[in-house]
Amino acid sequence: MKRDYRRTPVLLLAGLAIICFGALLMSQKVSAAAEGKITGTVKLEGAAPHMRGIDMSKDPYCVKQHENSPAHLENVVVGSGGGLENVVLYLSQGLPPAAANEVASGEPVFDQKGCMYTPHVLAMDINQKYKVITSDQTTHNIHPLPNPLTGNIPWNESQPPGAPPLIKSWKAEEVAIPVKCNIHPWMHGYFVVVKGPYGTTDTNGSYTISGVPPGSYTVTAWQEEYPAQTQKVTVTAGAPATADFTFKAK
Amino acid sequence: MHDMSTEAVHHHAPPTGFIRKYIFSTDHKVIGKQYYGLGLVAVFTGMVLSWLMRLHLGWTSLAIPGLHFLSSTGAPGNVMTPEYYLQLMTMHATIMVFFVLTVAPFAAFGNFFLPIQVGAEDMPFPHINMMSFWVTFVAFLVLISSFFLGDGPALSGWTGYAPLSAVGGVAGPGQGLGQVLWAASLAIFCVGQLLGSLNFIPTTLDMRAKGMTLSRMPLNVWGWFITSCMALTAFAVLMPACILLILDHVAGTSFFVPSNLVINDQLQPHAGGSTLLWQHLFWFFGHPEVYIAIVPAMGIVSHVLIANIRRPLLSYKVIIACMFSIAFLSYMVYGHHMFVSGMNPFSSLVFSFPTLIITIPATLIVLIWIGSLYGSRLRINSASLFALGFISMFVAGGVSGFFLAQPSIDIMLHATYFVVGHFHLVMAVAAIFGIFTGTYFWFPKMFGRMMNETLGKIHFWLTFVGAYCIFMPFHYLGLAGNVRRYQAFVGYMEPLIPIHKFITVAALITGAAQFIFLYNLIHSRFWGKIAPENPWECTSLEWTVPSPPPYDNFGGRHPVVYHDPYQYGVESENGADYIMQDSTETPKEA
Amino acid sequence: MAKIFAVTLILIAIGSAIPIIWHIWEPPADISTHGALIDEQMSETMAEAGLSFLAAQFVLAIFVWIFSNRPKGAKIGHFPGGATAMVLAGFLLVGTEVIALGIFGSRAWASVYFQPPAADAMPIQVQAGQFAFYFRYPGPDGKFGPMHPNLINEANLNFFGLDYNESATKDDIVTAEMAIPVNREVHLLMHSKDLGHSFYVPELRIQQDFVPGLDLSVHFTATKIGKYEIVCTQLCGLGHYNMRAYLYVYSQQDFDDWLKKEAALQ
Amino acid sequence: MATTVHEPPQIERRLPELGGSGNGGRNLPPSGGRLRGVRDFSPPPSSTALWVGLAAITMTFIAFTSALIVRQGASMDWRHINLPRVLYLNTVVLLASSVTFEVFRRSFQKKRDALDPGTLSHSQRSAAWLYATLLLGISFVVGQYVAWLRLSADGFYLATNPSSSFFYVLTAAHALHVLGGIGGLLYVIRRFGQSQLRPTALGVASRYWHFVDILWLYLLWLLWAKL
């Protein structure tokens, strides 16, 4: 009898190990299937709106950070060749549940640098955890204000210099959650919480959504100032599909 | 001595069984001890909070090992966040003002000694008395529980100014449930203290022994009586204020929240409330509260001082008159907390004069105390040392009132550390010295054992010098324009940080000294020298009964009083220099 | 023990007084026209308070020294005059003292608060919010455009909720730092968008709360060119300690240049 | 207790009013060490306590009143509600309950003066008056609840308007005090049933009841009036 009791934990552990291993294999299978990707560029048509300069004089530290690179609002950032930065592209329709529930790897990082948010817009998968860090020598408070109806819970914590990163996640999809710092009222950005693969445009306005399983989708491009746009895209294994978007300046 | 009151009448037999005897006891003495215990727990909690705050103020980025166990969000990596500092500050103030300064000198000693000193067997309503303690205890639990909330306890200061305290979580951490619990705790506390007054006043008026006329009550009884009258009116105003605040929070009413508030770019739903209304209601309670803390201490100090200078005070009536006028004026001066709150500038002046005038009775009391020392036979012991220390502290804190009473100067000093220094000396430290005085003086009567005098004196010296080292510099900081309720000092306040470091060190040492007191308390309670009936050779009734007193205080007899409370410096038949209140012999001037 | 107490007490009293007497820490130099009266009042009060403090502590110390631990037989003395004299003295001394303070104090107070701002005082609006001050200058037309709370949006730096299509608003200048010309009276219109805050400039001898839902105003004249700090003294949340702005007192010329520069940035 | 005492032993014996050991205030010190009979004018603690309690309650409602006045003057958003009619009915009910209580007290007093306290015969009549009071008291509270329903039916909820906020707060606060009075009344009924009812207890209960009654009249005026 006694012996059996002794053995039970060993057996349990073994079982657990097997299950884990199996799960691992499964997950690899899934990601192996998702090899297609969507690429493209997002442009702004017309004159980019004037982005006001930010006066940070309330906090001398912030001023010092921008002595030779004056800070501006980042609501609309147009790069070389009219490329629109900080546009988030995600699959709003057609994603198979398996892929939708797949846990994306990696932790998107939201940095507070020179009393600005980098990136200005942080896209993440609903299943991802995201990390808030600070590179500043002044205290910030991070205060996302999600829509109460989505079930996401607002939070408000400050992060003194050198404090460990805050690791958080959201309950529900939401496009987009504004985030601000009350100590530095000009600091503001967005969390874009989506299901499945997503991409964010770089300074040239080009983006890549990788890990898209073959199939036909609706891609939505979200920009904080302009109404969102959608396109139908069909992804086949191997060949990357392209979808370009153009926003019209107001 | 007690020949004419031999017949024993037991109205209620002492309860048997632990619960009825020590926990849900209706005996005013047990309740008094319970209050004292509550005060003790609260004061050490508050003190530890102040340590954490002081450390943070001295060394803002200091990692305090293990702090994140207290609050993972409040101290990521053991470094205190701004919100956590403010939360600790709020809790420190609330705990100290309500559960120490109100509970210990008034509820604790009052419960234990008021009935004995007027020659009553118990309070008239023992069950209400018991309820008053347990309600207060619940209030304490509610307050402490807010420590364990996700975003921590309230952070809007012990004054809980609206709208910060009324708009809810959108205003920042701790402004949600934490603030509600804070207000609820205060409302419950008010109920507890009202129940207390419900007993104190009838005891003083109707339960006095034969011959114990009003003019024969010890001064501390007067102190408690006046205090309960104040508590009656003050707490009865705070309670509705807290209820309205809670409604603004949870029911979306707009008593204190005005229209068109935009917090975090969100237009608030409230409309039309008045933020000054909260300030008026709060300070109408808040200023009397200051005297609720100090008047009992005044009474206790007078009582102990007289016993140790072996002569009556120059005037017994003046002290009482002054305590009464202080209590009365305290309702007409509350506006001096709001000089910069946008009141009509004329009303600032209207509030300024009574505030200045209230220094007259306060000064008179001090003059009587000091003048009575003249030609006395002052005995030095822990109790009398703390009594003398009280006078010194009360003066030191009182004079800074001259500044804050004047709106023109208040412009400069309002919300600076000058104010913090002022009320810590005159209200907190002074009242706590009163508590120490009472403890060293009455401990033998309460527990039947003597406290260790040597430890007591060491405790006094460290506390006395320490308190000055902590709170005097506060005034200098204030003069230099150092704003209070800041978790870190940037800009023009940065040069002042060294003073803060000094204060922090002083605070750590002084706080550590309190553990000597705690040790003395616990050790003496169990292993102290057995106390005689009247160790200090005092006259009042509590010293005519065994230490500790029996269940019905007088062992069935009904004391009869023949003398004024303070027959010291006389020649009694048995060669003593004092005559007990219930002795029949007629005093001869020594 | 008693003698130690007396000595300690006297040392403490002197020690507490020294920083005051040597002016080690004191309010920063006054730069306002109304501040002189306040400072005068302050020093008067300091003298009276200081004297009563020292007197009380010294007498207490001396009495403790003399009258402690006397033998049991020692004669109980009585304070000359007894209670009556003492009460009278207390009443007269303290009474006159505080009444005098009150009267002079109210003079100083009146000089700050009982005069309306001059007709040509320069209007500046200050918007307080968690956790920063922002300032608005009316621009050439001398008129402030109306504020629309629903338009307040810090993300677009619209701290006042302005609608720039409105004529009065078009030329308004919003700044993060406050600048004023020297020797020119300023009429500061105070508005809080969210909570209670306070406007405190020690050098200006000005402290006034922002009361939400109640727009107050203060007026003052700065007499000394320089850079000063505006801090918040009304607990307003976690960033309270860092709610500040800078006040620049410029010569008229510099001020005009500054205003032009800021206008260009709008 | 306002009774005349002739000899010391009796002083002690007549005392048992919840463990008081003195007969209070105005006593003169016995001269020459011999207890002379002295008159005792001091009221029983319970009645003092009552006044203390009433003072506290009054302060509370003064605070509410000042809040109401300030709030009403503070802003333009005060929409005066016209009170549900049922309130006036409730008022009558409450007044009636006071009358019945008083009737009982008087009759009880008469009886007590007549007979020895020990053998109080409690005829149905007196008890009936008590029960009537109880019934009226309860129906008042129910009536207040009905008033709330009426008001919410008209779309006035707690947060709708400062006027309705104050209406709910004040009526709720008052109803709580009435419930307290009902508690006291139940105590009186019990003691009366055991024929152990002390006149002081009855006096306190009835005086409290009348106070709550007057308080209600004041609140009614406060809610009705446009200040």
Q: Cis ω on the peptide bond leading into residue B548 (within 30° of 0)?
A: yes
Count how many residues are written for chain C: 266
Taking only Cα atoms into account, the Rg of chain D, rounded to an integer number of angstroms, comes to 22
pLDDT in tens, B482-512: 999 999 999 999 999 999 999 999 999 999 9
Q: Are B476 and B499 in contact (CB under 8 A)?
A: yes
- Examine the pLDDT at B145 and tell me if it is beyond 70: yes
Query: What CATH number should be reported for the domain holding residue B207?
Result: 1.20.210.10
Q: Is residue B142 part of a domain?
A: yes
pLDDT band at B426 (very low <50, low <70, confident <90, very high): very high
Q: At what angle do helices B28-58 and B430-447 cross, to 10 degrees?
A: 140
Say if residue B430 is exposed, middle or buried (CB neighbours under 10 Å; 0-12, 13-18, 19+). buried
Q: Are B154 and B90 in contact (CB under 8 A)?
A: yes
- Examine the pLDDT at A100 and tell me if it is beyond 80: no
- Examine the pLDDT at B3 and tell me if it is beyond 50: no
- Which 3 state secondary structure label does DSSP give B58? helix
pLDDT in tens, B231-264: 999 999 999 999 999 999 999 999 999 999 999 9
Residues of A in contact with C246 (CB under 8 A): 57-58
- Answer yes or no: do A73 and C157 touch at CB < 8 A: yes
Nearest 5°: the CA angle B325, B329, B333 is 160
- The one-digit pLDDT tens for each residue of chain C (266 residues) are 899 999 999 999 999 999 999 998 889 999 999 999 999 999 999 999 999 999 999 999 999 999 998 887 788 888 888 889 989 988 998 999 899 999 988 888 888 788 899 999 999 999 999 999 999 999 999 999 999 999 999 988 999 999 999 999 999 999 999 999 999 999 999 999 999 999 999 999 999 999 998 889 999 999 999 999 999 999 999 999 999 999 999 999 999 999 999 999 88
pLDDT in tens, D106-161: 888 877 666 555 555 555 456 889 999 999 999 999 999 999 999 999 899 998 89
Q: Which among A145, A158, A180 is the nearest to B83, CB-wise?
A: A158
Q: Is chain C adjacent to chain B, meaning 3+ CB pairs within 8 angstroms?
A: yes
Nearest-angstrom CA–CA distance, B143 and A81 = 60
pLDDT in tens, B171-188: 999 999 999 999 999 999
Q: How many domains are there within chain B?
A: 1
C-alpha distances in Å from residue C11, one per residue of B395, B465, C4, C7, C18: 16, 10, 10, 6, 11
- Examine the pLDDT at A8 and tell me if it is beyond 90: no
Beta-strand relationship, A36-45 and A245-248: parallel
Nearest-angstrom CA–CA distance, B104 and A7 = 61
pLDDT band at D28 (very low <50, low <70, confident <90, very high): very low
- Examine the pLDDT at A167 and tell me if it is beyond 70: yes
pLDDT band at B118 (very low <50, low <70, confident <90, very high): very high
Residues of D in contact with B247 (CB under 8 A): 158, 165, 169
pLDDT in tens, B540-586: 999 999 999 999 899 888 888 988 899 998 888 888 889 999 888 87
- Answer yes or no: do B161 and C26 touch at CB < 8 A: no
Dihedral sign (CA B225, B226, B229, B235): negative
Nearest-angstrom CA–CA distance, A101 and B261 = 41
Tokens of B433: 């010295």
Q: Are A83 and A204 in contact (CB under 8 A)?
A: yes
Q: Are B315 and B383 in contact (CB under 8 A)?
A: no
Q: What is chain A's mean pLDDT, rounded? A: 86
Count how many residues are written for chain A: 250
Q: Is residue B13 part of a domain?
A: no
Alpha helices in B253-381, H assignment, sequence order: 275-309, 316-329, 345-357, 359-373
Nearest-angstrom CA–CA distance, B122 and D27 = 19
pLDDT at B70: 86
Q: Which among B198, B272, B558 is the nearest to D77, CB-wise?
A: B272
Nearest-angstrom CA–CA distance, D68 and D66 = 5
Q: Which among A157, A163, A164 is the nearest to B173, CB-wise?
A: A157
- Examine the pLDDT at B36 and tell me if it is beyond 60: yes
Residues of C in contact with B315 (CB under 8 A): 82-83, 86-87
**Domain with B423 in it:** 28-259+269-589
Nearest-angstrom CA–CA distance, C96 and C100 = 6
- Answer yes or no: do C155 and A188 touch at CB < 8 A: yes
Q: At what angle do helices B109-118 and B177-206 cross, to 10 degrees?
A: 10
Q: Choosing among B71, B73, B264, which should be mutated to test the A contact, i.e. which has the most A CBs within 10 A?
A: B264
pLDDT at D79: 87
Q: What is the pTM of this model?
A: 0.91
Tokens of B468: 């000055």
Q: Is residue A165 part of a domain?
A: yes
Q: Choosing among B71, B73, B179, which should be mutated to test the A contact, i.e. which has the most A CBs within 10 A?
A: B73
Question: Does residue C156 come out as left (phi exceeding 0), alpha (psi in the -120 to 50 range) or beta?
Answer: alpha
Identify any residues that bridge with C179 across adjacent strands, giving them in sequence order. Answer: C248
Query: What CATH number should be reported for the domain holding residue A157?
Result: 2.60.40.420
pLDDT in tens, D43-95: 788 889 999 999 999 999 999 999 999 998 877 888 888 899 999 999 999 99
Q: Which among B309, B349, B499 is the nearest to C106, CB-wise?
A: B349
CA distance B539 to chain D (A): 17
- Which of C193, C194, C188, C226 shows the shortest CA–CA distance to C208? C188
- Answer yes or no: do D21 and B198 touch at CB < 8 A: no
Minimum CA–CA partner of A116 in chain C: C155
Q: Which among D21, D34, D57 is the nearest to B558, CB-wise?
A: D21
Nearest-angstrom CA–CA distance, B396 and C61 = 14
Under 8 Å CB pairs connecting chains B and D tally to 197
- Answer yes or no: do C200 and B311 touch at CB < 8 A: no
Partners for A (CB, 8 Å, 3+ pairs)?
B, C
Tokens of B580: 């007990």
**Domain with A169 in it:** 36-248
Q: Are D64 and D72 in contact (CB under 8 A)?
A: no
Nearest-angstrom CA–CA distance, D206 and D210 = 6
Nearest-angstrom CA–CA distance, B88 and B190 = 22
Q: Is A180 in CB contact (< 8 Å) with chain C?
A: yes
> Is this complex scored with an ipTM above 0.85?
yes
C-alpha distances in Å from residue A11, one per residue of A2, A16, A17, A19, B89: 15, 9, 10, 12, 54
Nearest-angstrom CA–CA distance, B103 and B171 = 32
Minimum CA–CA partner of B568 in chain C: C76
Q: What is chain B's mean pLDDT, rounded? A: 92
Q: Tell me phi and psi for residue D13, to 5 degrees.
A: -75, -35
- Examine the pLDDT at B401 and tell me if it is beyond 50: yes
End-to-end CA distance of chain C: give it in Å, rounded. Answer: 72
Q: Report CA D23 to chain centroid distance, whole Å.
A: 26
- Examine the pLDDT at B57 and tell me if it is beyond 90: yes
Sheet with A121-125, edge to edge strand ranges: A121-125, A188-194, A174-180, A140-144, A157-159
Tokens of B56: 């943070």
Q: Which of residues 277-336 of B touch D (CB under 8 A)?
A: 277, 280-281, 284
- Which 3 state secondary structure label does DSSP give A68? coil
pLDDT band at B363 (very low <50, low <70, confident <90, very high): very high
Q: Which among B76, B172, B264 is the nearest to A145, CB-wise?
A: B264
Q: How many domains are there within chain A?
A: 1
Minimum CA–CA partner of B228 in chain D: D52
Count how many residues are written for chain D: 227
Q: Which among B79, B151, B169 is the nearest to A163, CB-wise?
A: B79
pLDDT in tens, B290-306: 999 999 999 999 999 99
- Mean pLDDT value across residues D189-204: 87
pLDDT at A15: 63
Tokens of C104: 């002079």
Q: How many helices (H) and strands (E) does chain B have?
A: 18, 4
pLDDT band at D193 (very low <50, low <70, confident <90, very high): confident
CA distance B508 to chain A (A): 25
CA distance B81 to chain A (A): 6
pLDDT band at A17 (very low <50, low <70, confident <90, very high): low
Q: Are A78 and A84 in contact (CB under 8 A)?
A: yes
Minimum CA–CA partner of A184 in chain B: B264
Q: Report CA D49 to chain centroid distance, whole Å.
A: 12
Q: Report CA B414 to chain centroid distance, whole Å.
A: 23
Domains of chain D: 1-42 (no CATH), 45-224 (1.20.120.80)
Tokens of C219: 């007026």
Q: Is chain C adjacent to chain A, meaning 3+ CB pairs within 8 angstroms?
A: yes
Q: Choosing among B206, B260, B276, B560, which should be mutated to test the D contact, i.e. which has the most D CBs within 10 A?
A: B206
Other C-beta atoms lying within 10 Å of the C-beta of residue A58: 24
- Examine the pLDDT at A18 and tell me if it is beyond 70: no
- Which 3 state secondary structure label does DSSP give B549? coil
pLDDT at A178: 95
Taking only Cα atoms into account, the Rg of chain B, rounded to an integer number of angstroms, comes to 24
Q: Is chain A adjacent to chain B, meaning 3+ CB pairs within 8 angstroms?
A: yes
pLDDT in tens, A52-72: 999 999 999 999 999 998 999
Q: Is residue A118 part of a domain?
A: yes
Q: Is residue B358 part of a domain?
A: yes
- Answer yes or no: do B280 and D66 touch at CB < 8 A: yes
Tokens of D125: 């009549």
Q: Is residue A1 part of a domain?
A: no
Residues of D in contact with B212 (CB under 8 A): 22, 27
Other C-beta atoms lying within 10 Å of the C-beta of residue B194: 25
Minimum CA–CA partner of C241 in chain A: A183
Q: Is residue A21 part of a domain?
A: no
Q: Is residue A99 part of a domain?
A: yes
Beta-strand relationship, A206-212 and A36-45: antiparallel
Q: Choosing among A75, A180, A183, A188, which should be mutated to test the C contact, i.e. which has the most C CBs within 10 A?
A: A183
pLDDT band at B364 (very low <50, low <70, confident <90, very high): very high
Q: Is residue A159 part of a domain?
A: yes
Query: How would you write B253-272 as a 3-class SS string?
Result: CCCCCCCCCEECCEECCCCC
Q: Choosing among A58, A63, A137, which should be mutated to test the C contact, i.e. which has the most C CBs within 10 A?
A: A58
Residues of B in contact with D9 (CB under 8 A): 7
Q: For the CA atoms of B69, B71, B75, B77, what is the dihedral angle to 10 degrees?
A: 30
Taking only Cα atoms into account, the Rg of chain A, rounded to an integer number of angstroms, comes to 22
Residue found by looking up tokens 């004079």 in the block: B399
Q: Is A141 in CB contact (< 8 Å) with chain C?
A: yes
pLDDT at A10: 60
